[in-house]
Structure 1
């Protein structure tokens, strides 16, 4: 389940660049990820509404909706997301992963997100 709008989203492209050019818990990562977030949120809003939104499971809609809302009002959670989303953007989609322990391995299918400890960590 790889889709073109994910791969061509400017936020996803920027997040992958942020991962390659910054270290975790640094101002550069925070600023870069924060600037990359609006196109990702816009993609989610587009995907989760209308006819396309009917195909998205309700629990996923609730989780993602809560995530974007919480980022806007919880600074600590936002920092955790800005540190984590570059990794998630690199881990899922098409092509190969570019950094970390899985460098060079194929990116994962989105179905695997439910089992990913990094993704689950954002739900706490």
Structure 2
């Protein structure tokens, strides 16, 4: 019974986070928002290995997609992730410092700052 309450509380928190995210980000297109949610998560995972945060982000992204009737198959999600990985890694001759600068720019963007702060607020 206690586990069931925790799961319901977790789902409620997820809904609250997703709702707050929507309210703070105005009318951006759903596809664009999903891209940025995944982008923030990937950049944050490079900067800090925070598996619970990554799991929470994927949960929120999935919830957001379901609530908005957005269906992406695994290949489509993999393509989004590949594009983001390419953006983060940059050209083949990029240094680690350049990559770290791209990661910091993404993580410190307005959308990611808001999104990641919401995720950290558990």
* TM-score of the two chains, using structure 1 as the length reference: 0.31
The answer to which structure has the higher helix fraction is 2
* TM-score of the two chains, using structure 2 as the length reference: 0.31
Greater RCO (CA < 8 Å, at least 6 residues apart): 2
